[in-house]
Amino acid sequence: MNSSPPAGRSRASTKDAVGWSERHYTEVRINRTQALVLGFSLAAWVGLVGILVAAPDIFTGVLKLPAGDSRRAELAFLVAISTLLGLLGVGVVRRWRWTFWLVLVAFLAGLLRVPASLMELLGVLPANGPAWYVLLQGAVGLVQFAIGLAMLSGLRRAGVWGSFG
C-alpha cells in the first residue's frame, strides 16, 4: 500500500483533510424504534397517495372541499403532509427530543380512533367516509397505539429514541 500523498498535496495537507472529514462525518444508525416510526410514516404516506389516486372523493368529503375541481387543494394537502412527514423523518433520524415526545403523544392518542370508528359505524357519530375507510382509520389507530407502547418500552430501557426490546 502506498502511503505517499496524492500528487500536488503535501503530507500535512492530506492529514488535515482526513482529520477534518473524520471529525465532521457521523454515521447514521437507525434503531428498531426509529425504523418502526419511519416505516409507519412511509406506509401512511403511501396509503394517503393511494387513497388520493384511487378514491379522491373521500378526501373531498373529509376535507370539506367545494364541489368541482378539487385537485389543486388535494395536491396542496399532499404537499403539506409530505413536508410535515419529511420534517418528522429528519427529527426521527437525528433523534430530536421534541420529535420523540410529539410522535409518542400522537401515537398513544391513536387509540382514540378505535372508539370513534366504532361510533361512526354504529351511527352515533357522522361517518367521515365509507365503511372501509372508517375501519381503516380504526386499524391505523391500533397500529399507532402499539408503536406508542413500543416507544414507551424503549424510553424506559434506553431513554429518548431508545430501542424497544
- What is the per-residue pLDDT across 30-63, written as a single tens digit (0 to 9) for each? 999 999 999 999 999 999 999 999 988 887 777 7
Please write down the HEC assignment for all residues of 21-34: HHHHCCCCCCCHHH
17 found inside a domain: no
Structural domains of the chain, count: 1
95 found inside a domain: yes
57 found inside a domain: yes
Q: How many CB atoms lie within 10 A of CB 61?
A: 14
- The three grid cell numbers given for residue 34, joined into one nine-digit string: 426509529
Dist. CA 142–CA 99, nearest whole Å:
21
Write down the pTM of the prediction: 0.80
Opening angle at CA 9, ends 8 and 15, nearest 5: 165
| Residues spanned by the domain of 87 | 31-158
Describe the crossing of helices 71-93 and 32-54 by its angle, rounded to 10 degrees: 170
pLDDT band at 65 (very low <50, low <70, confident <90, very high): confident
